[in-house]
Amino acid sequence: MIAFIILLNICLQAVFYLQTKDKEYFYQILLWLLSLMYLGVNLLFNQGTMTMIMAFATIMPSMLTLALISSYYTKLKINWMGYILFYLVSIGLSFFLNSLNMNFIITSAPVALAVGLPTFIMGVRILKHQRHKGFLYVALAIFLILQSVHMFDYPFLRTDSKNLLWAFALIYTLFQALSLIFPAINITRKEEKITQDLRAQVKEQTKELQKALDLKDITYQVLVHDFANYVFALIANLRAIKRTDLTEGQLKIANTNSSILEKMKDLIREIRQLERILNTNSNEEMKFEYKNLHQLICEVEKAYTPKLESKKLKIINDIPKELEVYVYEPFFSISIIGNYLSNAIKFSNPNSSIRVFVHINEMQNLSITIEDSGIGMSQDDLEKLNRATSPRRRTGTHKESGIGLGTLIATNYIRIHGFQVVFDSQEANPKENIPGRTTINIKLNRKQYR
């Protein structure tokens, strides 16, 4: 029976250890294993009375365990090897006293008293932190102390020691079982407290974030509103200019600028519409529709006419005239095609061409490719571009500056459309007469074009 109780306590401490990974419980398991070994040696060699065996097989590790647990709450440092050594010395002392034919009271009382008194003091201190545990520690310490004063032969303590020790072993085992429940309750309470604190922090941070978002929205609305005013003013001025006598060249420039401003006006309108959808949590979706890709490329090309002419570049539009893509306009043409074409112009060599074409693979997936014959980029730069999450500064062939924000914006709008983009490049090497080349492949599935 006593071996079963010891094994049960080992199992309980093992559960504690698996739950917390705390070495404290590992050392307690070691104490109980020593106790089990002590019990086995006594039974094997038939040394001492069963009462004494039970005393040192249950009381010593039990009280040491209580003291060790108590030290956790009282913030006392633990010398584990010292406790284990003390236990081994106590076992040796019990064998020595037993060899002198001394009775159980003499052999166990000093050790029980030495462990019981500190445990009682620690139990009282624990009462300030956790009443239920403190009360159990105090009660068990008192029980052990009462056992130790049997030597004084008080009449009211004349109880069979063996029965008392059985009772103690069972009470302690019950206590260990309850300790599995109490820490779970305490952990739950701590988790609830932590959860409440985290919720309060999240709530406070959410308020701060909302303030920042509100400020951003206001700033954004002001910028869009004021920008729209100037765009509309420019459109009105251009219309007035076109009504005057202009040369053919001037009229061409005016028409180009008018086309650009009309595109900007459409963009502002869609930005306001998108803002309304996002801010009001409207069920209204973004307006995706089929658009003629060849025509979109032509419109974007007009917007970049001055840049193309300054570098004597030519855009070869090999897009089939009947091909339509399912896109969100004008964001697709301005934010995606426009930004990628702008980059191609920026890094193309003068007197070269930029080709725009499509390819349909065996899976019927469409690739829109923008290919230039410019300076290209290194493999390292290419890898960074393919996983870009922030702008990268690069200088164009005519020393054009920029922070690379256009590519980042285009990539983000690619995700909104549900497309994929893959960059490929070969860096130019004039010494070996290797031309540079960069291709931008925008990939669409079968449902995104017709």
Q: List pLDDT tens digits, range 268-323.
A: 777 776 666 666 555 556 678 898 999 989 888 888 888 888 888 899 999 999 99
Q: Round to whole Å and give the CA distance between 276 and 84.
A: 72
Measured distance CA(327)–CA(414) in Å, rounded:
10
Bond preceding residue 391 cis, omega within 30 of 0:
no
351: alpha, beta or left? (left if phi > 0; alpha if psi -120 to 50)? left
Sequence ranges of the domains in the chain: 2-198, 286-448
Mean pLDDT across 124-149: 62
pTM: 0.48
**Tokens linked to 122:** 């620690």
| Cβ atoms of 33 and 11 closer than 8 Å | no
291 touches 327 (CB < 8 A)? yes
**Does the structure show a pLDDT above 60 at 173?**
no
Which pLDDT band holds residue 72 (cuts at 50, 70, 90)? very low
C-alpha angle 179/183/188, rounded to 5°? 150
410 contacts 335 by C-beta, under 8 angstroms? yes
CA dist 376 and 114 (Å) reads 84
User: pLDDT digit string (tens) for 374-426?
Assistant: 888 878 777 777 776 555 677 777 777 766 677 777 877 787 778 888 888 88
Taking every pair of Cα atoms in the chain, the longest distance, rounded to a whole number of angstroms, is: 132
Instruction: Give the Cα separation of 209 and 201 in Å (integer).
Output: 12
Q: Which of 78-82, 84-88, 314-318, 382-386 has the lowest mean pLDDT?
A: 78-82
Q: Residue 422 corresponds to which amino acid?
A: V
> What percentage of residues in the chain have a pLDDT greater than 70?
49
Tokens encoding 383: 């890898």
How high is the mean pLDDT of the chain? 69
Q: Taking a C-beta distance cutoff of 8 angstroms, is the pair 390, 409 a contact?
A: no
Q: What is the pLDDT of residue 126?
A: 61
- Work out the end-to-end distance of the chain between its first and last CA atoms, rounded to an integer number of angstroms: 83
Distances (CA, A) of 191 to 184, 188, 196: 10, 5, 8
Question: Is the pLDDT assigned to residue 236 strictly greater than 50?
Answer: yes
- CA separation for the pair 382, 426 (Å, rounded): 9
Specify the CATH architecture of the domain 286-448.
2-Layer Sandwich (3.30)
Q: Are 43 and 53 in contact (CB under 8 A)?
A: yes
Average pLDDT over residues 168-172: 53
